[in-house]
Structures are given as structure tokens and as C-alpha cells.
Structure 1
Amino acid sequence: MPRPRTPVLWQAAVAAVAAGAAVYALTRRRFPPLTTVPHVDLHRYAGQWYEIARLPQRFEQGCTHVTAEYRPMADGKIEVHNTCHQDSVNGPAETVRGLARVVDAKTNAKLKVQFQWPFEGDYWILALDEDYRFALVGTPDRKGLWILSREPQLSHPALANLTEMARQKGFAVDRLIYTQQPEAA
């Protein structure tokens, strides 16, 4: 006796669920949960940082000699001043001011930064030199990535190490833009 045929819709539903599960599994394998450093002393993190490299960002288009300055405030927030020189390190400077707030008080490594109300962006500290000389900062969706240094240039070994770390965390490091900075004095 012939077996009854499974309805086409049922087969399509099973195929859709299987495809969705496969995509989810591939995404999870491709992008494991993003981890941050175990702890950040925000007072040591404060001060000026030079952008060494970044993934392309619309708001940084044409920027060179990019710096960020962080200043802890009495209310626990962090004042942020980002500066970009258009077209060259001697070009006109544009500065934007914002506020950051800690969203993970256990580590201080996950922040939300706001430059224009009501919009906030993720700022996760993914790697940090023990002497706070350089850092790797990114966003959990892996669309934002910055390599920062206390000096305008970063040694090749440190840069290579941070780039490889970012690659292993799932960032598209082949798209990095290396920020022109003034030569060290």
C-alpha cells in the first residue's frame, strides 16, 4: 500500500527551519560571543589616545590625525572629545563632544557613548595593555573597530598582535584603515 504524501507546505516548513538552524549555527561559529578585558580602571584609561587604525565609519570619512580624549566626571560618566583633521594632519580640525556611561560595572569594559541625543553606540574594550599604552576597542556587531595608542605611532609587533586578535574575534581586519598621524618628535 503506497504511503500518503507529505504535504508540500510541511516539507517547506521543515526545510525553512533546517535552513534557519544552519544559518544560526554558522553565525554562532563564525562570531562567538565577543569578550572584553576583565577590568578597566577608568582613571588610568582617561587621557588622550591616538587612533592607529579603524574599520571604515561614515562619521570618520576623510579623517586623519584622529584623537580621542576621555575624562571621568564626578557623576561616574566619562566626557569624550574626539578630534579629526580633514584631509591631512595639518588640515582643519573638527571636534565632537560626547558622554559615555558604563553599562557593565563589574568590568568597566562595556560602555555606551552618546554624541547626539538620543543615539548611543557601543564601546567595548576588547584588549588593553597592562600599562594602558594601547587598546583594542570594538562593537559587538563587529562593524566598529579601533586600535588606539597613547603615542601617534604603535610598534609593528603591537599592531600586528592587536590586528590578529581582532581577526580572531571576527572583525574584518582586511578592511582596516590606517590613520595618518603626525610623526613622533
Structure 2
Amino acid sequence: MASRRALLRTGGVIATAGALAPAWLKPNAATAQTATPTQPAALPRLPERPAPAIGSSIQLPRTTLIDGQVLEPGHWRGKLLLVQLWATWCPFCRKQNPLLDRLWRARRQDGLELLGLSIDEKTDVINRYLAEHDYRFPVARFDSAWWSAIGRPKGLPILWVIGRDARLKQIEVGEMFPEDIELLERWI
């Protein structure tokens, strides 16, 4: 029997595709120059690329947060790092972000780090979204350095779990439910 998560993911993908298909297939004046019929303008031009294999060593890149702060790769040394690829317009991200934010706030003193990698193009849109929801976790743009480090599987949100040993422990594509988020604590 299929899990609730698998059934909801399949249904959500079908519903989202059906709802967004008219907008993606019929470019308007605002997107005609910057988007193809199958790619909305907000997506970065980095192609899909499989994630590294579980157990792979991840070379974390130097990261500039949207507030201008620079995090060197050593910032995460010895910590559990959750990296989430997301967008402000993603309905599944909107459900998952509060769960990750709560986990991060509760467990960051135990060495848990959370980094949101947004695929939104405009910093003001990202900042407004974070402020509206009172999210405090660090956010950067998904860029070629992160693409090289962790890949870009198809879907949103995507969560990579990188262990204290800098090895990929888990990857989740699609919305995670509260019970899935609770299971992340096993890595702490």
C-alpha cells in the first residue's frame, strides 16, 4: 500500500501541473523574452542534475546570504546541515518552511544548521516572504557553486541532509510532513 506521503505527492504534482500548465504554455508579454513554454521565468537557468549519492562527501561552497553576510565552508564544520531548495511561490515549500524553521529554532543549540537556497530572482520578494512569516533561518540564492556541490534534482522543495562529517545522509524531494521532519532529529 502506498504511503500517505507518496499519494499526496503524486496528487499534488498532478494538481499543480494542471493548474500551472496554462500559464507555462502561453507566455505573456512579461515572460516571453525570459522564459520557455515549459520553464517559468523565476527558475534559474541551471539545468537539472542528479544529487550526489548518499554517503558522498560534500564540498560546501562559500555562501553569500541575501543579507550580504558571507559564510565560509568551515562555518558548518562539525554541524548537521539541512539545505533546502525552495521558492516563495511554491505551495509545498510554504507548508514545509514553518516545520523546518521550528526544528531549527529548537535544535540549533545542538549543532543543527538550516540554510534555505531560494530560486526566486528578486531579493525583495524573498525578504518580504521571510518577514511575513517571521523566518530567521539563513537564506542564500541557489547558484552554480551550490549546483556543483549538491546537484539540482527535479522538484520543489528539496532537502539535503549533510552530516557532521560533511557526507550526504539523506535527500528528500517534495513536501515533507510533520512526521518526516521529526525523523530528521535522528541525525542530530
TM superposition score category, shorter chain reference: under 0.3
**Higher relative contact order structure (alpha carbons within 8 Å, sequence separation ≥ 6):** 2
Q: Which has the higher strand share?
A: 1
The structure in which a higher percent of residues are helix is 2
* TM-score where L is the length of structure 2: 0.22
Normalising by structure 1, what TM-score?
Answer: 0.23
Question: If you compute each CA radius of gyration, which structure gives the higher value, 1 or 2?
Answer: 1
